Structure 1
Amino acid sequence: MTAPDPTTAIDPVTAAVIQGALETIAVEMGHKLMRMSHSSIIRESEDFGAALTDPTGSQLCECRMSTPLQSGPIPGYVRHILKVVAGRGDAIRPGDVIMHNDPYGGASHGPDVAFCVPVFHQDALVGFSVTTAHHLDIGALTPGSCGIVDAVDTYAEGLQFKAIKVYEAGRRVDPVWQILEANLRAPQLVVGDMEAQIMAARIGAARFSELIETWGLAAITAAHDDLIAYSERLMREAIRALPDGEYRAVTHLDGYLDDPDPGRRDLPLVVTLRIAADTLEVDLTGTAPQLPDKPINMPFEGTVDCAIWLTVRSILLDSVTFGHIPQNAGLTRQIRIVAPKGCLANPDFPAPVIARFCPGNQLADTVMKALAQVAPDRVSAGIGNLRVASFSGLKDGRHWVHMEILEGSYGGRQGLDGMDAVDTLYANTRNNPIEDIEMHLPLRVTRYELREDAVAPGRWRGGIGTVREFTFLSDGGFSMEGDGHSHRPWGHDGGADGLTASVTLVPADGAPRALVSKIPYLKAKAGDRLVCLGPCGGGYGDPLARDPEAVLHDLREGLLGPEAAFADYGVAAMPAGLDEAATRAERGRRIVSPPS
């Protein structure tokens, strides 16, 4: 928006009231989308975004239930839609609905499709109402839209829509919908979800228009500018409180562990933070080169920037300490990102990117590892990364497709144990209830529990991953994009490293088969089982400093046994209670007094 006229300068209370009204609109959009959607990935997992922007794409608000990886890219979607439409010599008109999923044009990856509804006031474009969501199939080489880990370029990843009008001046553009229905494996689900997105975005546009009528455009503009300045001031103060300097961290992706080419395995992610006064530079120089024919590259805009911004904001401006902070461009103005062209974090078109989910999450973890050097009391130890499985098959001549996000875990943190069995960092989706899976799909979830004897020791232990076991009730197939099978989550300040993940296929009529973290489409028969062990986060702090009562609690919960309690923590305990004398003696024996 343009700078406010001094005569329309707004007081902070009014600005906050307007911001609250805007955020309420975004929340309503999210609720309506969830209620109207067909697939569990939106309805249950909340893998969607909803936001309002000004006419340039500057974000006014976002739905708090949505995942950062969906709402975060929305300004980029809008900027690229404006650029593409202008480049065609076209215009955006009332009644238009624009579809966009270009991974080199603001989208996080192709399956995350945005629907953008322009908002007009007195014949002038004043903003956009936008919804994004992950769709279960986008017409790629193999079924599903995740688990696609083998694609030669972006064209192999499915249909691409670059600022395509699906409604033009209020009229439905039927050929676009006909193309969609003819090229998607589960059109009844995907098209239904897309229609739900459009309706939710139209509701947001209508509410935004009502808000303009109530407050006036000048007041909303002034409130937006005031809150951008507020968010920027908070972020600059948070950066200024850190010691100036350069801080470097390295983690690794599995890559393709079964590939004979060493250049496709154990790929480094490198983050160097440069802090100077109230500015922060995040330099990714040293990160592995892009893989030109494997889809684990990360779009710079839509994935890399969101992973970095989300991590910096959540650590430096934790809502537990700072309360609610408006999400807008003020939080990112003072953060500069450097990523050499042609690396995993800034690939050249048309390098494939559809499997950017795990790499982006690992990049966020690497940023956190670097920040641990300057803000150790605000970070967690290394996270157990997420994985995404795609299940599919044919039933009565129709495709069924299901996407399952397999939880990871957080590392321990100052004063708190790591969170168990959760989506981490920029994902933030919910799990699918077993009942919903088994009600709609020919799958049975035969195990869903925490891993046993899989705790990374620390003063604050690492979070625990899950055991997930799926049984096919009819012939089908699956694929998986994952990570964390080769590299353990990092421990912090004396805490132990976490535990890696694993996947095992147990055929109904054969021997179990260990699989790597990235699994191209494999056929499965009825009765075959897929056993997925989730990774466990790193420990934080010296395990000998852990409260013995906390160790006893973990023992009674079945998270570890008496042998592990003694070996890892120096705690002599049985479920009946602690042996305090033996614990003091053992810990005293292990602690070496400093030299005099």
Structure 2
Amino acid sequence: MNVHQKPETGTRVDPVTSSVLQGALENIAIEMGYKLMRMSYSSIIRESEDFGAALIDEADQQLAEAKQSTPLQSGPIPGYVRGIRKWLAERGEEIRPGDVIMHNDPYAGASHGPDVAFAVPVFLDDALIGWSVTTAHHLDIGAHTPGSGGIVDAIDAYAEGLQLQAIKVYEEGRRNNQVWHMLRGNIRLPDLVLGDMEAQVAAARIGAQRFLELVQETGYETFLAAKEDMYDTAERQMRAAIAALPDGDYAATRYIDGYLDDPDPSRRDLPIAVTLKIRGDHMTVDLTGTADQVPDRPINMPLHGTVDCAIWLAIRSVLLDSAIHGEMPQNAGLIRPITIVAPEGCLANPTFPAPTIARFCPGTELANAVIQALGQVMPERVSGACGNGGGMVFTGQQGDGFWVQVELFSGSYGGRSGRDGMDSVDVLYANTRNNPIEDIESHVPLRIRRYELREGVAAPGKWRGGVGSIREVQFLAPGGASVESEGHKYAPNGLFGGAEGVPSQLVYHPADGGADVQLPSKLPWRGFKTGDRIEAVRACGGGYGDPLDRDPADVLDDVLDGYIDAAKARADYGVVIAGKAVDAAATEAARTAMRKNA
């Protein structure tokens, strides 16, 4: 059945019934998420919440997702299921009750290799009625360097780790021990990773049980009719939001660093181009003009699993902002009015075996570009560009085993109409958390020397940009690190007179007291000595609106809070601070002069 095709059913339901069913499905997905968090071994799931959970219908459409998880984990799950079914069909294998299927193929729906899904088919009698699926980022997946993030020098998909293409880890309820033996022998942290995988299986089974019980209680015909009403309701909301916009083409381009230290120009300064084509109640997102794929570096983005999720998240967040529209259903109806066009062989639609493991940061800039394009028709609903995220992977050996710690970088939001940008948070299609310092220092030989907000660099605007963080990590034993980041050259742009933000930095402080070293935004794995420190300085979001229109009282608060100093208040905002107060007369004179000279 086509993913957008509606099943035939003569049953009709009232809106209350479909709303109750939507809530019940969402509660099941949320329960799956919390169960997974509590059963997991690793901090990246337990603390950072880098996981997904969702329920999928018989036509591979999303019914509901765990809203506490990251959109980049839950959003791709329908694509995972389509990829699973594709691989099983090609091999002539059937889906049976009791199966649990593992999948991480980025060319068949997965977001990238470390995000492994475990899918449990749900049967009513002998009929497949849907799926319960969990995804999670795993700390090692058998790639050519330790850890499963920051592998920024992989030359192809094979260098990124195990490719798990619709593998049955349980067949009709029986555990396939040979698969688990294979995993254990090819992963550097077998106890931790396999423990997390078993937690995923358990959480997905809980979801499948709850799903089946709900359908049995509701009645299958009623369930089918209610879910179509759920989809139709979400679709109508999205179509109405698109139809309220003027027809036209609206374009924006963001650049990514790529590999700034690489002599090959095809690997650096790469455009991500977006044109939104609005026609009535339909929107086409055309990525023509985006840079060609980089065939031997992993910053390519899977079309299904990364690109589509970045686009859907950006459009839904702006057009159907929950602060205005209230609680919104997260189901397949929201994406029906949106078509994505991406030329084959570009960064946003690579061809196998181009590597994709470091797709996160380019995807963030894609979402940034979509939002900047929407700003041309909805200026009051968008923000200045966000400071990018990314992450750093620390690794080392303890005896004959490994330790791995993934540090997910926070970003920062740009200012928006009526609000300053948010400081040091994960942005756009990621809402993962950073790890508590106490958790890190109690499990691995690292010490967090500094963790604070940047000072004196908030981007000016009527509504200032959010500021990034500084996190400095010291090795307490020999180890290694790798880094996946963006925005070390290209600052987040401001909007409507707001200033651009400040780029990120990565600084190496040698233990021997040698000169500090500025590291690139992409750092392949390298060794570090005891006492070495790495300082991650994160980007600040762009400002929104003319800084001279900012309330002087807000500027004073920024000075008192350390976002800027008095000199910057005078230079950027024309606000004169005397002691701990605004000099109103001097401020009026300064702003008048600045407007005259603008």
TM-score range (shorter-chain normalised) is: over 0.9
Distance (Å, rounded) in 1 between the aligned partners of 2:344 and 2:8: 41
User: Does the alignment pair 1:528 with 2:532?
Assistant: yes
Asked if structure 2 preserves the Cα contact closer than 8 Å seen for 1:555 and 1:575, the reply is no
Which aligned pairs between 1:14-413 and structure 2 lie closer than 5 A? Answer: 14-413=17-416
TM-score (norm 2): 0.98
Amino acid in structure 2 at the alignment position of 1:302 = G
Which aligned pairs between 1:382-531 and structure 2 lie closer than 5 A? Answer: 382-509=385-512, 510-531=514-535
TM-score (norm 1): 0.98
Asked if structure 2 preserves the Cα contact closer than 8 Å seen for 1:556 and 1:575, the reply is no
User: Once the 2 structures are TM-superposed, how far is the Cα of residue 3 of structure 1 from its aligned partner?
Assistant: 4.5
Q: Structure 1: any 5+ residue segments left out of the alignment? A: none
User: Once the 2 structures are TM-superposed, how far is the Cα of residue 6 of structure 1 from its aligned partner?
Assistant: 5.8
Q: CA offsets per residue over residues 187-238 of structure 1, 9 Å max, x none?
A: 1111110000000000001111111221111111111100100011011110
User: Once the 2 structures are TM-superposed, how far is the Cα of residue 7 of structure 1 from its aligned partner?
Assistant: 4.5
**4+ runs deviating over 3 angstroms:** 1-7
User: Does the alignment pair 1:580 with 2:584?
Assistant: yes
In structure 2, the partner of 1:551 is 555
Q: CA offsets per residue over residues 77-115 of structure 1, 9 Å max, x none?
A: 111111211221111111110000001000010000000
Asked if structure 1 preserves the Cα contact closer than 8 Å seen for 2:9 and 2:225, the reply is no
Amino acid in structure 2 at the alignment position of 1:245 = G
Specify the SS of the correspondent of 2:84: helix
Distance (Å, rounded) in 2 between the aligned partners of 1:576 and 1:427: 38
Asked if structure 1 preserves the Cα contact closer than 8 Å seen for 2:458 and 2:465, the reply is yes
Asked if structure 2 preserves the Cα contact closer than 8 Å seen for 1:116 and 1:131, the reply is yes
Distance (Å, rounded) in 2 between the aligned partners of 1:440 and 1:363: 35
Asked if structure 2 preserves the Cα contact closer than 8 Å seen for 1:149 and 1:294, the reply is yes
Distance (Å, rounded) in 1 between the aligned partners of 2:500 and 2:544: 9
Q: CA RMSD in A?
A: 1.2
In structure 2, the partner of 1:539 is 543
User: Once the 2 structures are TM-superposed, how far is the Cα of residue 539 of structure 1 from its aligned partner?
Assistant: 0.4
Distance change >3 Å, CA 3–CA 406, structure 1 → 2: closer
Amino acid in structure 2 at the alignment position of 1:165 = K
Q: CA offsets per residue over residues 499-549 of structure 1, 9 Å max, x none?
A: 000001111012211101000001011100001100000000000000000
Amino acid in structure 1 at the alignment position of 2:135 = T
Specify the SS of the correspondent of 2:448: strand
Distance (Å, rounded) in 2 between the aligned partners of 1:570 and 1:432: 40
User: Once the 2 structures are TM-superposed, how far is the Cα of residue 327 of structure 1 from its aligned partner?
Assistant: 1.3
Distance change >3 Å, CA 154–CA 4, structure 1 → 2: closer
Distance change >3 Å, CA 554–CA 119, structure 1 → 2: same
Asked if structure 1 preserves the Cα contact closer than 8 Å seen for 2:345 and 2:351, the reply is yes
Q: CA offsets per residue over residues 310-345 of structure 1, 9 Å max, x none?
A: 100110000111112211221111111111011100
Asked if structure 2 preserves the Cα contact closer than 8 Å seen for 1:552 and 1:574, the reply is no
Task: Give the count of matched residue pairs.
Answer: 594
Amino acid in structure 1 at the alignment position of 2:333 = G
Distance change >3 Å, CA 110–CA 4, structure 1 → 2: closer
Distance (Å, rounded) in 2 between the aligned partners of 1:270 and 1:3: 33
Asked if structure 2 preserves the Cα contact closer than 8 Å seen for 1:507 and 1:527, the reply is yes
Q: CA offsets per residue over residues 1-54 of structure 1, 9 Å max, x none?
A: 885666420000011111111111001000000000011111011110001111
Distance (Å, rounded) in 1 between the aligned partners of 2:22 and 2:275: 35
Q: CA offsets per residue over residues 239-267 of structure 1, 9 Å max, x none?
A: 01111111111110001000011221110
User: Once the 2 structures are TM-superposed, how far is the Cα of residue 574 of structure 1 from its aligned partner?
Assistant: 4.2
Q: Identity across aligned pairs (percent)? A: 62
Distance (Å, rounded) in 2 between the aligned partners of 1:453 and 1:369: 26
Distance (Å, rounded) in 1 between the aligned partners of 2:81 and 2:9: 28
Asked if structure 1 preserves the Cα contact closer than 8 Å seen for 2:9 and 2:224, the reply is no
Asked if structure 1 preserves the Cα contact closer than 8 Å seen for 2:275 and 2:285, the reply is yes
Asked if structure 1 preserves the Cα contact closer than 8 Å seen for 2:385 and 2:413, the reply is yes
Asked if structure 1 preserves the Cα contact closer than 8 Å seen for 2:26 and 2:65, the reply is yes
User: Once the 2 structures are TM-superposed, how far is the Cα of residue 592 of structure 1 from its aligned partner?
Assistant: 2.6
Asked if structure 2 preserves the Cα contact closer than 8 Å seen for 1:452 and 1:559, the reply is yes
Asked if structure 2 preserves the Cα contact closer than 8 Å seen for 1:417 and 1:460, the reply is yes
